[in-house]
Amino acid sequence: MKILVCISKTPDTTSKIAFKDNNTKFEEAGVQWIINPYDEWYSLVRAIELKEKDPSVIIHLVTVGTADAEPVIRKALALGGDEAIRINATSDDSFYVGSQIAEIAKQGGYDLIFTGKETIDYNGSAIGGIIAELLDVPYVSLATKFDLNGDVATVTREIDGGEEVAEIKLPLVVSCAKGVAEQRIPNMRGIMAARTKPLKAVEPAAVDALTTIASYELPPAKAGVKLIPADNVAELVRLLHEEAKVI
């Protein structure tokens, strides 16, 4: 069985975010880049767990990005991927990114495609559905549990008030959320092995982006905190009523 795991490069949550070019582009200088946590902790680790149960499983990683994404891909290989494909392009458009990955999936004949439920920078949660539509295969989003028996997957996802369990025959696209797997960190053996694992760069397919970024803006600065003495309940009520306007 062949599994394709989608990997995205995202800013570390501790990085200071800024914009440039009249707030139309993200300022990348000085940013610490990491594997998108939903891709790393859940989708990739679940694929590795499946390979540990069945050594014949092959795990390929794919990312859409320029050469500066390769350190992130190498870290993913260190966790347990067999080889990686970097599509030499960059885009903020979900359709463009999904289309590029779908082209790779068509060429590779993958049985299972894992994505994280979303990226922590854009929170779009769109890539998995786009890939599934372009491949014309089933899609399950926000999976919290994934089991495989032969060519039939049992996928659990949270819904309002409970859980939904679906059985789907492969091929299949799944976006993974918390619960699918437990976080791992690369060990020294994996880090050393990652240096020699294949990382192939390919040129992007001819796809037109459907969206462009008009502008970014930071959220408003948080207001200062007002401390009210515990014995001054009247003042607290007045502030909640007149300033916060919550009562």
Residue 241 counted as domain residue: no
Residue 237 counted as domain residue: no
Q: Note the pLDDT tens digit of each residue in 166-223.
A: 999 999 999 999 999 988 888 888 888 888 899 999 999 999 999 988 999 888 887 7
What tokens does 84 get?
Answer: 């990686």
What tokens does 69 get?
Answer: 């994404």
Identify which of 20-29, 146-155, 220-229 has the greatest average pLDDT: 146-155
Residue 232 counted as domain residue: no
Domain ranges, residue 177: 2-218
Give the DSSP letter string of 171-199.
Answer: SEEEEE-TTSS------HHHHHHHTTS-E
SS3 (DSSP) at 163: strand
Residue 165 counted as domain residue: yes
Number of domains in the chain: 1
Q: Where residue 54 sits, what CATH number does that domain have?
A: 3.40.50.620
pTM value?
0.86
Residue 117 has pLDDT above 80, yes or no: yes
